[in-house]
């Protein structure tokens, strides 16, 4: 509309310009429409990710389970370790994530803690190169913070015993204060624990400065949760600009930082910055999610960069899968096509 207002009535020699402008208007409005459609789909997927009923329908459905395998390494630790072995063989390391979040009862949180503790022994026995990522709401943060802290301490102590490392994933903004507080308490006694900072949040520059000053290992991500304008950038350009700014700070001042993204522009920016500041590729790592941009993963390995793959596994994959679809609505088509193919296969 703005373009039309500026144009006025077209004169004969303005025709070509008018045509170009009309094409531009059409292109811009179709881009705006598609951005709007993406946003609506994203919001719907985020809402669906929180539906308990759908979660149990999806996770018990054999067809949906088989489709989830595109982004989830398997349902058992054994399957996940096989995936890690394969990843190691391609020159990359891994971080295992036993899927689960927002548990509402103590026994579930205790089981998740036991699994976390056990995984270090299993990693060592399998002889693979992997650390472990965990979510505090999986350890009972919603049930009782002191109980969750005790569970987290058990996992970090087990990691220490096996000379391994624990990354505390960052969940939605309501958990950020508690996550950073738990992290700081643990980090004062154990240095084999790291945290995640989300570029989407306004507060992240100041959070990052603090954790970097403490000498902690940080994974920088864009942020996977739908956050309100009061706390988070809403435009992708703003999140991206903040990601670049925070990654530069991390590369210069951080301790073996992790730049976790599949965005080639973010990756190129980090590479260029590191090169310009004489930061060796061995001084940091790129991280990506299992099953996403495998081409880029092996390209980075070929160029001599360290790459770590986040390997999610376990039967509670539903919210994780929904977040992956929300990040890229094209994945919805991928999943629907595969579902249709599987259903046809089952009918035969
Ligand atoms: C190792 C790792 C750990 C993470 N841990 C956390 C965490 O603790 N807390 C948290 O909030 N978030 C976490 N995330 C998720 C992160 O916040 C983003 O939501 C996610 O990485 C997508 O953003 P992007 O940086 O890849 O960039 P985007 O701008 O979203 O995507 C850039 C390009 O990457 C590809 N891509 C991105 N996502 C997908 C997808 N789902 N499927 C297919 N292609 C895709 C597409 O080609 C896309 O164009 C983690 C991500 C990684 C890689």
Read off the pLDDT of residues 94-116 as tens digits, 9 standing for 90 and up: 999 999 888 999 999 999 999 99
Closest CA to 148 of 182, 196, 100: 182
| CATH class of the domain comprising 72-316 | alpha beta
What secondary structure letter does DSSP report for 172? S
Residue nearest to atom 33 of ligand 1 (CA): 263
**Domain locations along the chain:** 72-316
- The predicted pLDDT at position 287 comes to 98
Read off the pLDDT of residues 210-262 as tens digits, 9 standing for 90 and up: 999 999 999 999 999 999 999 999 999 999 999 999 999 999 999 999 999 99
Read off the pLDDT of residues 149-166 as tens digits, 9 standing for 90 and up: 999 999 999 999 999 999
222 CA from centroid of ligand 1 (Å): 7
Q: How far apart are CA 177 and CA 45, in angstroms?
A: 26
Long-range residue pairs from 47-55, CB within 8 A, at least 24 positions apart, any chain? 48/322, 49/318, 49/319, 49/322, 49/323, 49/326, 50/319, 54/318, 55/316, 55/318, 55/319
- The predicted pLDDT at position 118 comes to 97
189 CA from centroid of ligand 1 (Å): 31
Q: How far apart are CA 331 and CA 271, in angstroms?
A: 28
- The predicted pLDDT at position 21 comes to 52
State whether residue 286 is helix, strand or coil: strand
CA distances from 151 to 138, 163, 186, 315 (A): 10, 18, 12, 21
- The predicted pLDDT at position 34 comes to 67
Q: How far apart are CA 133 and CA 119, in angstroms?
A: 11
Which member of 169, 207, 308, 324 is catalytic? 169
More confident residue, 204 or 15: 204
219 part of the active site: yes
* Res 10 pLDDT > 60: no
348 part of the active site: no
More confident residue, 342 or 297: 297
Which member of 167, 217, 219, 308 is catalytic? 219
- The predicted pLDDT at position 4 comes to 26
- The predicted pLDDT at position 50 comes to 74
Atom of ligand 1 nearest to the CA of 288: 53
* Res 14 pLDDT > 50: no
* Res 290 pLDDT > 90: yes
CA distances from 7 to 18, 164, 322 (A): 8, 65, 44
324 CA from centroid of ligand 1 (Å): 8
| Mean confidence (pLDDT) of the chain | 87
Residue nearest to atom 31 of ligand 1 (CA): 263
Read off the pLDDT of residues 22-59 as tens digits, 9 standing for 90 and up: 555 555 566 666 677 777 777 777 777 777 766 766 77
Task: Determine the average pLDDT of the residues in 122-135.
Answer: 98
Residue nearest to atom 35 of ligand 1 (CA): 262
Q: How far apart are CA 210 and CA 216, in angstroms?
A: 9
């Amino acid at each position: 509309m703005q373009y039309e207002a500026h144009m006025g009535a077209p004169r004969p020699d303005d025709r070509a310009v008018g045509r170009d402008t009309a094409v531009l208007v059409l292109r811009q409005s179709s881009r705006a429409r598609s951005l709007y459609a993406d946003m609506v789909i994203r919001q719907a997927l985020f809402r669906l990710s929180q539906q308990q009923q759908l979660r149990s329908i999806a996770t018990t459905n054999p067809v949906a389970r088989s489709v989830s395998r595109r982004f989830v390494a398997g349902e058992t630790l054994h399957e996940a370790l096989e995936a890690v072995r394969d990843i190691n063989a391609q020159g990359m390391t891994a971080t295992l994530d036993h899927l689960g979040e927002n548990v509402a009862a103590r026994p579930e949180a205790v089981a998740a803690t036991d699994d976390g503790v056990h995984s270090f022994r299993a990693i060592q026995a399998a002889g693979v190169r992997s650390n472990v990522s965990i979510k505090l709401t999986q350890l009972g943060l919603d049930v009782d913070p002191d109980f969750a802290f005790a569970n987290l301490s058990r996992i970090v102590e087990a990691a220490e015993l096996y000379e391994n490392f624990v990354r505390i994933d960052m969940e939605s903004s309501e958990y950020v204060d508690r996550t950073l507080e738990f992290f700081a308490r643990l980090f004062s006694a154990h240095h084999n624990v790291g945290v995640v900072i989300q570029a989407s949040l306004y507060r992240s520059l100041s959070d990052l400065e603090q954790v970097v000053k403490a000498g902690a290992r940080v994974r920088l991500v864009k942020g996977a949760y739908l956050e309100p304008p009061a706390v988070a950038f809403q435009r992708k350009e703003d999140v991206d600009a903040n990601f670049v700014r925070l990654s530069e700070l991390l590369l210069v001042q951080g301790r073996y930082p992790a730049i976790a993204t599949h965005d080639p522009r973010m990756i190129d920016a980090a590479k260029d910055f590191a090169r310009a500041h004489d930061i060796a590729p061995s001084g940091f790592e790129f991280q990506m999610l299992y099953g996403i941009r495998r081409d880029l993963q092996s390209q980075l390995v070929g160029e001599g960069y360290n790459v770590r793959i986040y390997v999610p596994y376990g039967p509670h994959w539903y919210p994780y899968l929904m977040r992956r679809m929300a990040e890229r609505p094209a994945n919805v088509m991928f999943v629907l096509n595969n579902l249709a193919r599987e259903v046809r296969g089952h009918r035969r």
